[in-house]
Amino acid sequence: MIETRFTREFNVRHPIVQGGMQWVGRAELVAPVADAGALGFLTALTQPTPEALVKEIARCRELTDQEFGVNLTILPAISPPPYAEYRAAIIESGIRTVETAGFSPAEHMPAFKAAGIKVIHKCTSVRHAVKAESLGVDAVSIDGFECAGHPGEDDVPGLVLIAAAARRVSVPIVASGGIADARGLIAALALGADAVNMGTRFLCTVEAPVHENVKRKIVEANERDTTLIFRTLHNTARVATNTVSREVVEILRAGGEFDDVRDLVAGVRGREVYETGDMERGLWTVGQSQALIDDIPTVAELVARIVAEAEDLITTRLSPLVSAEGR
């Protein structure tokens, strides 16, 4: 067992988090993550309405008696989803931990705090982590540039970002982005983090509710097979390299606007990739950590393996490096 401030304060067995994943963070995945002793998050906006989220939380509770949380991703939108209603659905369902991401969680903090909910805010820079701490979050989850999804605009990889954040933030830090195994966990702890968050690695498990082709593609892919889109729009996202992501980059690089790629980037096309396994249908999210993934384990196998290998790394690889001489 590896115990940290995070495992104690968030009451989980292992310092491992499965972060929010649009179209993927459903009960089928989150329940086994909870059973394995890690902290899993249902993704609120994967559910079409706040009422559907209430039902999904109930469905997840039928599948596990362990605690799990809900991710609320706050992104720029022309017609934003009813965030306050999703927030109310989370609170009324008795959820104890929320992962916020995207924009500042400021407007949601008073209601979550009043309900006794612990908030982990996912961010991509030291300044946003410091700001989140000042708003009263209970932990920050910090995504390095390697991550799947939105890495921000600063392009600072985890090796620097996590250590830099640890110098400025005193709440527990969850290191995120580029982590897929025990080596990543140990490295993150050494950098000053108290836990790790993984997306891509959990996407490539037996229980992840996506087509088998997605998982096979992750196993085949290497660290160069992701593409950064929306750079010119200052809303960068890391997705899989395919015909659609290449076309989006070309159009925007040639001076195109969001309207020129609107149809290509439609969320529904991404959802169809996960549902049908047509890997060229739309954009799908994946991180550079796919280079470290070469199997499709069950969630229980994955979590147990990471914990066992992390313990082994400490005792058989790191401890012997400390020489008794010169002490």
Ligand X SMILES: Cc1cc2nc3c(=O)[nH]c(=O)nc-3n(C[C@H](O)[C@H](O)[C@H](O)COP(=O)(O)O)c2cc1C
Residues that bind ligand X (CB under 6 A): 19-22, 24, 43, 71, 73, 101, 122, 143, 146-149, 176-179, 197-201, 203, 285-287, 289
C-beta closer to ligand X: residue 198 or 265: 198
- Residues with Cβ < 8 Å from 206, sequence gap 6 or more? 296, 297, 298, 299
Instruction: State the nearest-atom distance from the C-beta of 47 to ligand X, in Å.
Output: 12
Distances (CA, A) of 104 to 6, 121, 127: 22, 8, 12
Is the CB of 131 or the CB of 256 nearer to ligand X?
Answer: 131
- Cβ at position 25, least distance to ligand X in Å: 7
Query: Smallest gap, in angstroms, from Cβ of residue 315 to ligand X?
Result: 26
Burial class for 95, CB neighbours closer than 10 Å (0-12, 13-18, 19+): buried
Contact 15, 187 (CB under 8 A): no
Min separation Cβ 70 and ligand X, Å: 11
Name the closest residue to ligand X (Cβ): 199
CA angle 224, 187, 218 (to 5 degrees): 30
**H/E stretch holding 240:** strand 237-240
What 8-state DSSP symbol labels residue 199?
Answer: S
Please, where are the H alpha helices in 96-225?
109-114, 126-134, 158-166, 182-191, 200-203, 212-220
Taking the least distance from each CB to ligand X, the nearer of 21 and 91 is: 21
Min dist. Cβ of residue 321 to ligand X (A) = 27
- Cβ closer to ligand X: 133 or 143? 143
Nearer to ligand X, 171 or 204 (CB): 204
| Among 120, 125, 123, 124, CA closest to 139 | 120
Do strands 69-74 and 39-43 pair parallel, antiparallel, or not at all (unpaired)?
A: parallel
Write down the least CB distance from residue 12 to ligand X, Å. 16
Q: Find, among 257, 245, 253, the residue nearest to 286 by Cα.
A: 245
Q: How far is the CB of 157 from ligand X (least distance, A)?
A: 11
What gap in Å lies between CA 129 and CA 152, rounded to an integer? 13
- For ligand X, the closer of residues 26 and 261 by Cβ is 26
Closer to ligand X by CB, 125 or 176: give it: 176
